[in-house]
């Protein structure tokens, strides 16, 4: 894969480790230690993907994203020490494509980078989307659009939504959604309710009175493609 990655990470050893693992996988990268340097590099170079640390000296990752803005052709993978940062980034609509929480296994990070690069290369327009209400979901491109505008979803949020959208009109128990999306038979199935709640906040007009992702009391959830 002929891709170029910009790594913005102030922990030198960690940055170099990531760089080394990407290199082993044939992905070339440039490492810098501040967001300011990163913005400078972006002025004269194009990158396919940015691996961005949140906690940086000077300008932090959030501020970087605000300045960098949403550029659909450049992917952003956030490295963060706190899971709560994901909510901040998504809540502010800062346009990140992927989150990896520290500490992480370098192999896992490289796999996420590869998956993201593939996703970015998938032309969303040419793949067939699935419509519901004012939305179009592109299962391969990992993208959801509302009247042409991209709705930012985390990978897992997208996975849950995709599962529901692809099985409209059918009732699923939390445990069924869990085993299908998380690929595990057992685990914390309460996560399903958490993700459904997040999705409702993003796609429902009134999240407390959903029209797409319906709760069927005592049975589970049903996706109503004619809602909205």
Would you tell me which residues interact with Ca ion (CB under 5 A)? 10, 53, 55
Given the complex with Ca ion, which of 10 and 211 has the nearer CB atom? 10
CB of 53 to Ca ion, least distance (A): 4
Given the complex with Ca ion, which of 26 and 58 has the nearer CB atom? 58
Q: Please give the Cα distance from 167 to 178 (Å, whole number).
A: 14
Given the complex with Ca ion, which of 10 and 36 has the nearer CB atom? 10
Which helix (H) or strand (E) segment holds residue 87: the answer is helix 84-91
Assigned token pair, 143: 């993208």
Given the complex with Ca ion, which of 106 and 133 has the nearer CB atom? 106
Which helix (H) or strand (E) segment holds residue 75: the answer is strand 75-80
DSSP per residue over 155-195, as a string? HHHHHHHHHHHTSTT-EE-HHHHHHHHS--SSS-THHHHHH
Given the complex with Ca ion, which of 55 and 155 has the nearer CB atom? 55
Q: Please give the Cα distance from 60 to 52 (Å, whole number).
A: 9
CB of 54 to Ca ion, least distance (A): 7
Residue number with the smallest Cβ distance to Ca ion = 55
CB of 66 to Ca ion, least distance (A): 18
CB of 60 to Ca ion, least distance (A): 9
CB of 79 to Ca ion, least distance (A): 8
DSSP secondary structure code for residue 33 in this structure: S
């Amino acid at each position: 894969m002929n891709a170029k990655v910009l790594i913005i990470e102030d922990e030198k050893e960690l940055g170099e480790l990531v760089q080394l693992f990407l290199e082993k996988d044939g992905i070339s990268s440039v490492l810098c230690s501040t967001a300011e340097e990163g913005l400078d590099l972006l002025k004269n170079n194009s990158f396919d993907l940015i691996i961005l640390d949140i906690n940086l000296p000077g300008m932090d990752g959030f501020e970087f994203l605000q300045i960098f803005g949403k550029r659909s052709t450049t992917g952003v993978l956030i490295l963060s020490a706190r899971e709560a940062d994901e909510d901040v980034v998504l809540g502010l609509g800062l346009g990140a494509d992927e989150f990896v929480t520290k500490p992480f296994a370098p192999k896992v990070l490289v796999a996420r980078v590869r998956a993201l690069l593939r996703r970015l290369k998938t032309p969303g327009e040419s793949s067939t989307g699935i419509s519901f209400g004012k939305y179009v979901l592109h299962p391969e491109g990992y993208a959801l659009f509302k009247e042409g505008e991209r709705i930012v979803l985390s990978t897992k949020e997208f996975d849950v939504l995709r599962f529901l959208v692809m099985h409209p009109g059918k009732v699923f128990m939390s445990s069924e959604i869990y085993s299908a999306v998380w690929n595990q038979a057992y685990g914390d199935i309460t996560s399903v309710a958490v993700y459904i709640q997040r999705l409702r906040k993003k796609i429902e007009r009134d999240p407390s009175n959903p029209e797409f992702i319906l709760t069927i009391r005592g049975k589970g959830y049903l996706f109503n493609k004619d809602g909205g």
